[in-house]
Amino acid sequence: MGKKILDSRFLYIVLSILIAIGLWLYVAANDETPHSNTIRGVPVTFTGEEILEERGLMLVNGPYTASVTVQATNTVLTSLTNQTVKVTANVSGIAEEGTHTVSYTVVPPAGVSTNQFTVVSGVNGNVITVEVARYSSQEVPVEGEFTGSVAEGYLAGDKEDFVFSPKTVVVSGRLDEVNQVARAVVTVDDEGLTETVNGEFPFRLLDRAGNELTDLSVTCDVRTVNVTFPIQATAEIPLTVTFVDGGGVGADQASATLSTESITVAGDTEAVEAVKAAGSINLATIDLSAVSDGETLTFPVPLADELDNLTGVTEVTVTVRFNKQLEERAFKVSNIHCINVPEGWTAEVITQEISVTVRGKPDLLDEITDDSLLAVADLQDVTPAAGGYTATVHVYLNIAPSAAEVGVLSGDYRIALNLTEGDASRMAIPTPAG
C-alpha cells in the first residue's frame, strides 16, 4: 500500500510545484535587483499656501493627486502605496493667477529611507500642474425665512423679527465665486409652534436673485448661526370702563358705548394668560359726578409692555348714558371753611359764595337749600407766607340721600383767601353726609 503511494506520479507533481514556489519566494525575497512601479492617486500636500493668500491668490480645482513611478527592490516596493507615500509641493513661488507647474518631493513611509528607492522622473521631471485663482473674502448679511406653521391661537413674527448671532457670515474663496454670494439665509420650518424658536441653525448661500448657490467651493467662518424667532400667544380681550357713583347717578344706572369693544393682543404665553384671566382691559374709572348724560370721552388703551396691540387701536371713545331722568340745579354756597390751616397762621376767606350744580331727581332736589351745601378748602399742603391765595374747595351735600340719588357735579370750585401770621385754630369740619 505504502509503495503504491510512493510510486504515484501525482504526488511527485505536487511536491515539485511546492518546491518550485518555495524556491521562487526565496529568490524574490533576496532579490536585490531594482524594479519599477507606478503609484497612482497619491494625495499632494502643499506648503506656502499662506504666502499665496497674502498675495490675494489661492489654489483651486483641488484636491490634487500625483502618479509617482519609483524603482526599488521588491521588498521595498511592497511598502510603497498611495496610503503610505506622501507628496509635498511648495507653491510660495507663484505670484499670479493661472496654470502653474511646481516640483514635488516624495516622502516615504516610516521604515523606508530615501536611498532605498529612486523616483523615476517623467518627461517634465517630478512636477505637478496646479490652478491658481484670485482670492477674496467678504461679509454677507444673515437673513431668515419662516416656512413652518404655528398652533391655533399663536402668531409667528415677521421677517424683521429674526435675531441672529452672528449677524454676518464671512465667505472666502476664489473671487469669481465669492462675488456671487449676496446673503446667507436661515430657514425655520417647524410645524405647530407654540413658543419662541431659539437654537443653532444651518444656512444657505443665495445670490442677488435669490437663487441658492450649491456648487461653490467657498468656505464660511461659521457653519451655523444662533437664531431667535418670536412665536406669540394671541387673545381677543374685551374693553370696559368702570363707573363710580356720583352726581345723583349710581354705577348701575349708567352705561357706556365704546367705539371699539375689544382688541386682539399678542405676547408670551404668561402675559397673555394674565390678561385673559383679568377678563377685560379697563380703559378708565369714570366718576359719574364729572360727566353728563350723552357725554363722549376719549381714553388711551392701556397695555402692559409685554403685550402687543395687534388691532392697532390706541384710543377709544366712550359715550356715557344714564338710564333715568335727572335734573340739574344751581345753588349758592356761602358756608365756606378752611381746614388744616398751618400752625401759627390765620386763614381769612375772601370769597363769600360760590355757585355749584347739583343733579338728581326733582323731588330730591326740592329738599335741598343753599344751607345744605358746605365748601371746604384743605390747606394741608400750603407753604405759609403772608398774602393772598387761591384754593380748591370740595363741596359736600349735607343731606341723607347717597351720591347715587343726588349729588354735586364735579367742577373747578375755587376760593380766594388771605393768610396772616398769628393766632389760628386748625378748624375741624365734621365729616359731611354723602
According to the model, what pLDDT value does residue 201 have?
97
d(CA 236, CA 240): 13
Sheet with 315-322: list strands edge to edge.
Answer: 254-258, 315-322, 296-300
According to the model, what pLDDT value does residue 24 have?
57
**Which residues of the chain have a pLDDT value below 70?**
1-12, 20, 22-32, 121-124, 400, 423-434
d(CA 73, CA 89): 26
Beta strand segments in 268-405, E: 281-287, 296-300, 307-309, 315-322, 327-333, 336-339, 345-349, 354-360, 373-378, 387-397
Q: For the whole model, what pTM was predicted? A: 0.62
Sign of the CA dihedral 94, 97, 102, 107? positive
Q: Which residues on neighbouring strands pair with residue 130, listed in sequence order?
A: 100
According to the model, what pLDDT value does residue 404 have?
81
- Where helices occur in 115-195 by DSSP H, the ranges are 175-178
According to the model, what pLDDT value does residue 429 have?
47
Name the grid cell of 178: 465669492
According to the model, what pLDDT value does residue 38 have?
87
- What does each C-alpha distance from 62 to 91, 175, 304, 353 come to in angstroms? 14, 16, 59, 103
The helix/strand/coil state of 22 is: helix
